[in-house]
Structure 1
Amino acid sequence: MAAKDGNQGEDMSGPERRTQLGDLIRERRAELGESLDTFAPRAIDPESGTRVTRGWIYRLERGEKITPPVYEELAALAVAARLPIERLQDAAGAQFHGVDPLRSGTGEAVAYVRKLDQLPPDQRDRLLRLIDTLVPPHSSD
């Protein structure tokens, strides 16, 4: 079982430091009303057993220099955050690699996603559950 706790990695300093994943996790913890001490112990990928430590999550949320997460670490965060892995993958891609997940979508899809950001969290969750009944999360395009 690997544990995420290093702080080496890309230099995140500079005028345009990206924090999408850190912001997502910090905001989600606030929505759930959880401290780092209650959130971090649940950050375990059930398939690989990979854990993400409290210290690494703390540094992520503060925008400090960290090693970008691998899939299993994102899966561990997804469990603790109770979010679909795809949301964390998009945020990590944006933060660590400057990837905008909306650029590859159709204009219509981009418009829907931008509107989705305006919904309160409970309505977003209900809409995602509805979409998942129509198009299962792991179906191919």
Structure 2
Amino acid sequence: MASHADGRRMDLSDLVRRRKEELGLSFRALAAACVDPQQKELGPLWGRTTLDTLSQGGKVKPPLLHEIRALAHGLQLPLGLVQEAVGSQFHGIDTVWSEEGDVRALVEGYREMSPEDQAEVRAFIEARRTAGRG
């Protein structure tokens, strides 16, 4: 949930850097593993240089869905986790979960909201969650 010096969000960059280290992969090995499981015939969809640039907080194009699937596969992470990081870094969209973790809302600029506004969003999510049970 870090930000770049110029205020850009770094969620995906941080995730890639951290997970690459956890897996003990080189950028070359990570790039080779970034294959979309639904379109294997396309081969690796991420280049070593792009992954390196991304992990260092450099500017890259927002990835498309098949590229996100490939990255999730390469990082050995759930697709939703990588999608959340993409949404935050490239679109300023935060995922806010209910207390039970069974309902989520995508909220633009949630982190920049006042604590009071954040509490209202969380209350709304909880109200929707409990309404869905009835």
The two structures have a TM-score, normalised by structure 2, of: 0.65
Deviations along 1:46-95, one digit per CA (max 9) or x if unpaired, are: 22226111111111111111110011001111111100110000000000
Distance 1:81 1:98 in 2: 22
Task: Name 1:97's counterpart in structure 2.
Answer: 91
Runs of 4+ in 1 over 2 A off after TM superposition: 105-110
Aligned pairs, how many?
A: 97
Q: Which has the higher contact order (CA 8 A, sep 6+)?
A: 1
**Structure 1 residue ranges without an equivalent (≥5):** 1-12, 111-141
> Does 1:31 pair with 2:31?
no
Structure 2, unpaired ranges of 5+ = 103-134
Aligned ranges 1:49-64 → 2 under 5 Å: 49=42, 51-64=45-58
Corresponding residue for residue 22 of structure 1: 13
Residues in 2 aligned to 1:54 and 1:31: alpha-carbon distance in whole angstroms: 17
Structure-2 change in CA distance of 1:101 and 1:39 (3 Å): same
Does 2:76 correspond to 1:85?
no
Q: Secondary structure at the match of 2:74?
A: helix
Task: Supply the distance in 2 between the matched residues of 1:87 and 1:38 (Cα, whole angstroms).
Answer: 21
Considering only aligned residues, what root-mean-square deviation do their CA atoms show, in Å? 2.1
- Residue 97 of structure 1 deviates from its aligned partner by 0.5
Percent pairwise identity: 36
What's the counterpart of residue 101 of structure 2?
109
More strand by share: 2
The TM-score with structure 1 as length reference comes to 0.62
